[in-house]
Amino acid sequence: MNLIQVDNVTKRFSGHTALEGVSVSVPEKSIFGLLGPNGAGKTTLIRIINMITAPDEGHILFAGRYIQPDDIDQIGYLPEERGLYKKMKVGEQSLYLAQLKGMSRHDAQKNLKEWFEKFDIGGWGNKKVEELSKGMQQKVQFIITVLHQPKLLIFDEPFSGFDPINVNLLKQEILRLRENGSTIIFSTHNMSSVEELCDNIALINRSRKILEGNVMEIRKKHRTETYEVEISGIEEKDLILPPTCHILEKEETAGHAVIKIQGFMNHKPNELLARIMQQADVHAFREILPTMNDVFIATVNAAEK
């Protein structure tokens, strides 16, 4: 079942169209990557899901029915431009924002304590936000986003401004949130984190959706027929490949050669493997799927043409 379904949404501002007939389905209890170049319309789409702005055409379904104003209590939103009340104390501010999301003060207090322990920042409750470093403020804002245990979490560039250790911590928490039943929409430019975390993605370019689907399926669909093979017992230059194939890269160490081969023209990998096996000892053979980064660039470039 889809927790969020964006149906044919169009949003125009004076002078330009931010979204044009965009439809996106976010399955429940999954991590959904919302990708796209700067200015493609991602933030507008996120704001529409958050009911900050209304679409000109189309509509949003939340858990199968039209989204209601009360549903925003079920959403946690971490905007790309972070911000908190600078002069307000961390604890007080977290409780306030959780209460604005409809949580009782008592429950919020209990959750806050857990999260403070989890992030090892128990002593910050009475500090003003302006007394914290930028990274610390980011942590606080992340906690505030998830504090009210929303069904849907929307993270816009959640890792920017974090050091690698905290990025890791955050990734663990995001995966754990999914395990606990949250659905996560995750907007980013960081493609490696997309491969690592996302189950599904949608790619938006110039206010239109140009790609949507399961990450693995998309990568497979964009396969470039590149294989990597590790062989020994033969010199690389003596290896005879089918006529359409060419070698992309090679690397030789201690009698073993690792070779990337491309261009097998829709033959089965077994045929290539069989051909090589006749000539050399094969230690490893695998297909190289394109990275999300490659898919992103290729798809956007294709759409621009």
Partner 1 sequence: MKKIWLIIKREYLTRVKKRSFVVMTFLGPILMASVWIVPLLLASRSEGTKIIEVLDETGLFFEEFKETNDTKFIYITDDLQTAKANLGKSEDFAILYIPLSSYTTPKAFYLYSYKKPGLSLKMYLQESANKILENKKLQDVYGIDEATLASVKSNISLVVEDIETSKKSYTEISWALGFAGGMLIYFFIFMYGSQVMRGVIEEKTSRIIEVIVSSVKPIQLMLGKIVGIAMVGLTQFLLWIVLTLGIVTAFTAVYSDQIDKYKTGEQPMATAPGQLFSSDVMGMPDTQQGLETLGSDENIGQLIDVFFSINYGVIIFTFLFFFVGGYLLYAALFAAIGSAVDNEADTQQFMLPVTIPLVFSIIIGLSFVLNNPDGSVAYWLSLIPLTSPIIMMIRVPFGVNIYTDLIPSMVLLVLGFLGTTWIAAKIYRTGILMYGKKVSYKELWKWITYRP
Nearer to partner 1 by C-beta: 99 or 214? 99
Q: Return the bridge partners of 4, or none.
A: 26, 62
Binder to partner 1 among 61, 63, 88, 169 (CB under 8 A)?
A: 88
Counting other chains too, the contacts that 49-57 makes at CB distance below 8 Å and 24 or more residues apart are 49/4, 49/6, 49/75, 49/152, 49/154, 49/185, 50/75, 50/77, 50/154, 53/11, 55/9, 55/10, 55/11, 55/19, 56/10, 56/11, 56/12, 57/8, 57/9, 57/10, 57/21
Nearer to partner 1 by C-beta: 66 or 85? 85
Among 79-87, 118-126, 171-179, 186-194, which window interacts with partner 1 (CB under 8 A)?
A: 79-87
Among 100-108, 211-219, 269-277, 293-301, which window interacts with partner 1 (CB under 8 A)?
A: 100-108
Q: How many CB atoms lie within 10 A of CB 266?
A: 6
Cα distance between residue 249 and residue 76, in whole Å: 46
CA distances (Å), origin 232, targets 100, 145, 186, 255, 288: 65, 54, 44, 6, 20
109 lines the binding site for partner 1 (CB under 8 A): no
Q: Binding string, 35-74, against partner 1, x = CB under 8 A?
A: ------------x--xxxxx--------------x--xx-
Cα distance between residue 248 and residue 198, in whole Å: 29
83 lines the binding site for partner 1 (CB under 8 A): yes
Opening angle at CA 209, ends 203 and 210, nearest 5: 70
Three-state SS across 112-146?
HHHHHHHCCCHHHCCCEHHHCCHHHHHHHHHHHHH
75 lines the binding site for partner 1 (CB under 8 A): yes
84 lines the binding site for partner 1 (CB under 8 A): yes
Cα distance between residue 22 and residue 209, in whole Å: 6
Nearer to partner 1 by C-beta: 155 or 296? 155
Nearer to partner 1 by C-beta: 71 or 195? 71
Q: Return the bridge partners of 156, or none.
A: 187
Binder to partner 1 among 27, 37, 79, 125 (CB under 8 A)?
A: 79
82 lines the binding site for partner 1 (CB under 8 A): yes
Within 183-202, the residues that bind partner 1 by CB under 8 A are none
Q: How far is the CB of 13 from partner 1 (least distance, A)?
A: 10
Among 25-33, 98-106, 227-235, 260-268, which window interacts with partner 1 (CB under 8 A)?
A: 98-106
Binder to partner 1 among 18, 22, 60, 77 (CB under 8 A)?
A: 77
Structure-derived torsion over alpha carbons of residues 35, 41, 42, 47, reported in degrees to the nearest 10: -170
Among 16-24, 86-94, 242-250, 268-276, which window interacts with partner 1 (CB under 8 A)?
A: 86-94
Q: How far is the CB of 34 from partner 1 (least distance, A)?
A: 16
143 lines the binding site for partner 1 (CB under 8 A): no
Cα distance between residue 145 and residue 164, in whole Å: 21
97 lines the binding site for partner 1 (CB under 8 A): yes
Scanning the structure block, which residue is given the tokens 């980064």? 293
Binder to partner 1 among 68, 85, 252, 301 (CB under 8 A)?
A: 85
Give the residues lining the site for partner 1 (CB under 8 A).
14, 47, 50-54, 69, 72-73, 75, 77, 79, 81-88, 96-97, 99-102, 141, 144
